[in-house]
Amino acid sequence: MEKPLTKHIRKDQRPLSLKEYEKVGGYESVRKILKGISPKEVQKIVIDSNLRGRGGAGFGTGLKWSFVPLDVLKPKYLIANADEMEPGTFKDRILLECTPHQLIEGMIVAAYAIQADVSFVFLRWAYKTAADTITKAIHEAYEAGYLGKNILQSGYDLEMHLHTGVGRYMCGEETALLNSLEGKRATPRAKPPFPQISGLFGKPTIVNNVETLCCLPHIINNGADWFNELSLTNDSGTKIYGVSGKVKKPGAWELPMGTTLRELIEVHAGGMADGLKFRGALPGGASTDFLVEDHLDVKMDYTHVAAAGSRLGTGTVVILDDKTCPVGFIKNLEHFFAQESCGFCTPCREGIPWVEKILNSIETGEGRLEDLKLLEFHTKYLGPGNTFCAFAPGAMEPLQSGLKYFREDFERHIQEKKCEFKNFKFQVSNSVES
C-alpha cells in the first residue's frame, strides 16, 4: 500500500532537512515542471488526477486553478491554508511538523500552475513546532534556489512568507483568510468576485489546503493515472484519516481514499475502548452530520459519505460512545460555533447562541418538549441559503442529524429533567486513562 504523503515521516517525527529530502526525491517535481511543462499542462495533469480539496469542501483543485487568468500582470498569490482549527482535526499538523519541504514543494507546483509570484503559509497560532519547521524549511529552500528570483535558472520567480494567525476559526474560510491577511477582521467576502479573479489585495489568488498541496509533487512525479489508482473508489488519492474519542488507539493514518469507517475504527484505531460501544461519529470534524452504526461500512470518500447524508469534511473522525451524552456532545459543538461565529450576519450571530442556550436548558433538565421544534426551526433557518457563508449551515449539520439519530436522548433529558450520563462519566474516564 503506497503512502506518498507520509512515507518519509520518521518515527520520532523529526522533519527531513533539505539535503535528506532531496536524497529521497524531494523537489523532483519542481525540476520537472520548470524544465518544460507549461502551467496549463500542470493544470491538466492535476485536473486529470481528480484531486479534490482536502480542507473540507472537496472542490476540484485543478478546476479551481483554471479560473485564474494566466495572462494578467503580477502580483498573483498562492496561499497554503494551514489554519487547521476544525474541532477534531489534526491531520495537517502532522504534515506541517514532519514534512515541511513537501508542503513547500507542493506550493511551488501550485504557484507555478497559476503563475503566482508571491506565496504565504497561513499558519494557526497554536502550531508552534510547525512555525519553527516551516521557517527553517523556507530558509533552506531559498538558500538552495528553489525560492526567490529565477528558480533553478528557469526565469520563474516565487517569494514565500510565513504568516501566523491570532486565533479565529473563520480564518479557515478562504475569503475570511484573505481579509485577515490584509489586516482586517476575518469576515467572509461576497462571491463573486471569486478569489481567483480578485483575491488578496484585489489580485488573483488561490487558497489550497495543506494536505491538498502535499499531494501535488507526487501527482507531477507519478502521473494522474497513478494518483487515481491509489484510491479504492472514484475519488482519487490517499487520505490522511484520523480517529479521536474513546477508542483504544486514537491516531491518524494515510490510507487509500475510500477506506471504510469500520476499518478506521476497528482496525486502525484498535476498536472502542473497553466497556464502550460505538454510538455515532462525526466523519470529518465538528461541522459534519453524524454517521451511526448503519453507516459503518460507508466508504470514506466525498461521494459515499455524501450519499450517507454527511460530508467527508477533513476526514478526521470524532467518535461518540454509548456512555457519553449526545446532548452534551452537541452542546459542546454549538458552544464552539456560537463563540467562533464572526458576527457579520444576523442569523448566525443570533441563532447559534440561542441554539446553545436551548441545548444547555435541555442538558440541565430545564428543557421543554417544544424546544425540540425550536431546534429544528434553527436547523432549517440557519441552513444553506439563509446565511452569508457556510459557517452556520455547517454548525447545523451535527445538530440536525443528532436530533434525528439521538432523539430519544433529547426526550429523556426533557422528561426526566436530568442528564443520566452525568453519573458514570467519571468512572469511564478513569478506566480509559489507566
Partner 1 sequence: MPSKMLTTEEIKEINHAIELVPYKKAACIEALKVVQQNRRWVSDESLKEVAAFMEMSPEELDSVATFYNLIFRRPVGRHVILLCDSISCWVMGYEKIKNSLNEKLGIEFGETTSDDRFTLLPNPCLGTCDCAPALMIDNDLYRNLTIEQLDEILSKYK
Query: Can residue 278 be called a binding residue for partner 1 (CB under 8 A)?
Result: no
Which of 133, 209, 236, 316 is the binder for partner 1 (CB under 8 A)?
A: 316
C-beta separation of 46 from 113 below 8 A:
yes
Q: Is 168 in the site for partner 1 (CB under 8 A)?
A: yes
Buried b / exposed e along 211-223 (16+ C-beta atoms within 10 A):
bbbbbbbbbbebe
Alpha carbons 386 and 395: distance in angstroms, whole number: 13
Q: Closest distance between partner 1 and the C-beta of residue 169, in Å?
A: 6
**Nearer to partner 1 among residue 225 and residue 350 (C-beta):** 350
288 is a site residue for partner 1 (CB under 8 A): no
Strand order across the 316-321 sheet:
251-256, 238-244, 316-321, 278-282
Determine the Cα–Cα distance for residues 52 and 284; give it in Å rounded to an integer: 15
Binding residue (CB under 8 A) for partner 1 from 114, 123, 147, 186: 186
- Rounded CA separation 407/352 (Å): 20
Phi-psi region of 339 (alpha: psi -120 to 50; beta: other; left: phi over 0): alpha
Distance CA 324, CA 166 (A): 32
Query: How far is 283 from 280, CA to CA, in rounded Å?
Result: 9
Minimum CB separation of residue 229 from partner 1 in Å reads 29
Query: What grid cell was written down for 307?
Result: 450519499
Q: Does 246 bind partner 1 (CB under 8 A)?
A: yes
Rounded CA Rg of the chain? 22
List the one residue from 282, 338, 375, 399 that touches partner 1 (CB under 8 A): 282
Print the binding letters for residues 339-378 with partner 1: x by CB under 8 A, - otherwise.
xx-x------------------------------------
Torsion of CA 408, 413, 415, 420, to 10 degrees: 100
- If binding is defined by CB under 8 A, does position 320 make contact with partner 1? yes
Per-residue contact flags (x/-) with partner 1 for residues 86 to 115, judged by CB under 8 A: xxxxx-xx----------------------
Residue 265 DSSP class: I
Name the residue nearer to partner 1 (CB basis): 14 or 40.
14
Angle formed at CA 163 by CA 160 and CA 168, multiple of 5 degrees: 145
319 near partner 1, rule: CB under 8 A: yes
**Least CB distance from residue 88 to partner 1, whole Å?**
5
**89 or 400: whose CB is closer to partner 1?**
89
Note whether 243 binds partner 1 by CB under 8 A.
Answer: yes
Q: How far is the CB of 205 from partner 1 (least distance, A)?
A: 13
Report the distance separating Cα 43 and Cα 38, nearest Å. 9
Distance CA 125, CA 207 (A): 18
Which segment (40-48, 141-149, 216-224, 246-254) binds partner 1 by CB under 8 A? 246-254
Give 3 or 32: the residue with its C-beta nearer to partner 1: 3
Regarding 268 and contact with partner 1 (CB under 8 A), the answer is no
Question: Is residue 84 involved in binding partner 1 (CB under 8 A)?
Answer: yes
**Which of residues 54 and 218 has its CB atom nearest to partner 1 in the complex?**
54
Residue 178: what are its φ and ψ, rounded to 5°?
-65, -45
At residue 230, the 3 state secondary structure works out as coil
Rule CB under 8 A: choose which of 126, 144, 197, 267 binds partner 1: 126
Applying CB under 8 A, among 14, 23, 161, 373 the residue interacting with partner 1 is 161
Comparing CB distances to partner 1, the nearer of 164 and 212 is 164
The answer to whether 74 and 182 have CB atoms below 8 angstroms apart is no
Number of residues that bind partner 1 (CB under 8 A): 59
Q: Cβ closer to partner 1: 241 or 410? A: 241
Cis peptide before 256 (omega within 30 of 0): no
Task: Verify binding: residue 394, partner 1, rule CB under 8 A.
Answer: no
- Residues making contact with partner 1 (CB under 8 A): 84-90, 92-93, 124-129, 161, 164-169, 180-186, 201, 242-246, 250-252, 282, 286, 316, 318-321, 324, 328-329, 332-333, 335-336, 339-340, 342, 426, 429, 432-433
